[in-house]
Amino acid sequence: MPRPPASRKAALYGGSDPATAPRGLTARILELGEELRGEGVAVGTSELLDAFAVLREVPWAHPADFKEGLAATLAKSQEDRRIFDLVFDRFFFRAAELAAVREGITEGGGMDAAGAELNLETLRQQIAQALRDGHEAMMRDLARLAIAAFGRQGEGSGVIGVDVQRIRRALGLRAEPQPDLPPDDPRADGLPRDAIRRFEALLRQELERRQIERTETLPPARPLNELDRALPSGPLQDLAAVHRVVAQLKRRLKTQGHELRGHRRQAIPMSSNLERRARPCHRKTLAPAIRSETPVFGNVASQRQQPGRRGKNRSAWSDDAHRVRQSGRQLAEMRQRVRQQQAVVGTVRNRRFAVGEVADIRDVRRRNNVEGVGAPYSATESLRIGIGLHFEDVPGDEALLLCEKRVEVIAIDRRAALESVRRRERDGPAQVAPPRPLVAAHQRTESNGRPRTDQPLRLLSHSPRSADRISLTAVFGIHG
C-alpha cells in the first residue's frame, strides 16, 4: 500500500523535491495556491482556474497588475487579502532566490565596499525622507545602503530580526516625534509607522538575500506572524485577539441604545472605574421583559463569588443576553413574592436590600396626588415601573461604594452622597443632616431639558441611624 505523501506540496510533484519541481509560471501559481491553503485561505480549483484565466489577460511582466489580478481571484475577503500579500511577497522572493541559486547568479558585494564612503548622517536623513514620501524603490535601494553602512558585514548576530532592529535603531527611525533633532530633519516629527514597518521588511529581505547567497540554500520559510506582527502567532495570541474583538463588540452593543436616544455617553462625571464599564441598555431589555412578566434581573455581581455562595449575589441589572434567562426568573419570583407580601431580599456588593415596592409609578403619583419636583419619584418622571430597594444599616464608606461602583444598579447622586458622608465624618453623629431627597436637579435632566433615560435607578433618600451607618432607599425605574 503506498504511503500517503508527507505534504500536499510534496504531493503536487508526486513526492519529488520542490527544488527540482517543474519550472514555469503555471507550476509557481499552483505552489502559491498551496501556500495560501497552508495559511488557511480557501483556494479551490475554480479559483486557480480563474487565476490562469486572469494571467491570460494580464501581462506577468507588470508586477502590480500581476499581483492584483491574482489577488482578485485567490483572496476573497479583506483578511484573505492581507495573508495573500504576505504570502505573495514571501513566495516570489523565495522563488526568485531559488532560481538565482540554481543559476548561480549573485549580486556581488560592491555595496559593502561603497559603505566606507557613505556619509552616515546624510544616509539617515535620506532614508527618513524616503519613508516620509513612501517611495518604495528608494526605500529598497537605501535598505541596501543601510545594511552596507550599519550591517557590519561578518559581525552580524546570526539572527536576521536582531540585525534589522539594530540597523533601525542606528538609523534613529521612530514613529514618535524627536524634539532633540533639528526642525528640518525629516525624523523630527516622527515617521509613519507603516513606512517604518515596510522598511524593516525590506531590510529583512535584503539580509535574507545575502544569507541565501552566502549559504547557497534557502532557509526555512518564516511564519507569517513574523512578517506581520498584527497576525496572531499562537493560541494565546489568538485568544487575546478574540477577547479584544469581543470587548469591542460589547462596547458597541452597550452604547448602541444610548446613541439611538441621542444622549451623551458620559454626561456625568464618573470615576475611572465606571468609565471602563459602559452602562447596560435597560430600556431595551428590561421594559419589554417586565411587561411580559419575564423580566431581567441580571447577575453581574463583579466580586468574586465564594464557593457555596453561588447565586446569592445575583442582584444587579444587566442586558447581557446570557444572564437574562436565569435572572429573569429571579425577578419574576421576586415580583410574585412582593405581591404576596413576603420579604424579598437581594444583595449588591454583599449588601442585602429589601424590595419594597414594584409598582407602576404613574399609579403611585396618581394615588399620592403628587407631581413635579420634590415629590417622591420626582427624578423618575419618565419612568413607568419603579422598584424600591431599601438598604438598611449601610456603613458610610460602603454607601459610597454602592453609589460609585454599582452604577448598573444605582443611579448615583454621588456628589450629594459624598457630601453627606464627609459631613458625617467631620461633624459626628449629632450633626448629621436629616433625611432628605438626594436627587440633585442637575442630574435629573440633560441640558436640553429632556429627562435622562440612562440612569434608571435613583437614590431617593438616606436616613442616618448612627455615626457610620445610614439607610438608603433607591428606586429602579423602567421607562414606559
Binding site for other proteins (CB under 8 A): 42, 44, 46-47, 50, 53-54, 57-58, 64-65, 68-69, 71-73, 75-78, 81, 255, 259, 262, 264-265
* Nearest to other proteins of 58, 359 (CB atom): 58
Q: Minimum Å distance from CB 246 to other proteins?
A: 17
Q: Minimum Å distance from CB 46 to other proteins?
A: 6
Q: Minimum Å distance from CB 31 to other proteins?
A: 21
CA distances to 20, 386, 411 from 405, rounded to whole Å, are 68, 21, 11
* Nearest to other proteins of 30, 148 (CB atom): 30
* Nearest to other proteins of 85, 112 (CB atom): 85
* Nearest to other proteins of 71, 100 (CB atom): 71
Q: Minimum Å distance from CB 447 to other proteins?
A: 13
Q: Which three cell numbers stand for residue 48?
A: 486557480
Q: Minimum Å distance from CB 75 to other proteins?
A: 6
* Nearest to other proteins of 58, 95 (CB atom): 58
Q: Minimum Å distance from CB 317 to other proteins?
A: 23
Sheet holding 469-479, edge to edge: 345-348, 351-360, 383-395, 469-479, 457-464
Angle between helices 45-57 and 25-38 (to 10 degrees): 140
Q: Which residues of 192-219 are buried (b: 16+ CB within 10 A; e: fewer)?
A: eeebbebbbbbbbbbbbbbbbbeeeebe
* Nearest to other proteins of 50, 393 (CB atom): 50
Q: Minimum Å distance from CB 252 to other proteins?
A: 9
Q: Minimum Å distance from CB 254 to other proteins?
A: 13
* Nearest to other proteins of 54, 399 (CB atom): 54
* Nearest to other proteins of 251, 423 (CB atom): 251
Q: Minimum Å distance from CB 445 to other proteins?
A: 17
Q: Minimum Å distance from CB 42 to other proteins?
A: 6
Angle between helices 120-133 and 136-150 (to 10 degrees): 150
Q: Can you tell me the distance from the alpha carbon of 406 to that of 315, in angstroms, rounded to the nearest whole number? A: 10
Q: Which residues of 109-146 are buried (b: 16+ CB within 10 A; e: fewer)?
A: eebbeebeeeeeeebbbbbbbbbeeeeeeebbbbbbbb
Closest by CA to 320, choosing from 293, 345, 298, 348, is 298
* Nearest to other proteins of 151, 280 (CB atom): 280
* Nearest to other proteins of 27, 58 (CB atom): 58
Q: Minimum Å distance from CB 72 to other proteins?
A: 4
Q: Minimum Å distance from CB 465 to other proteins?
A: 43
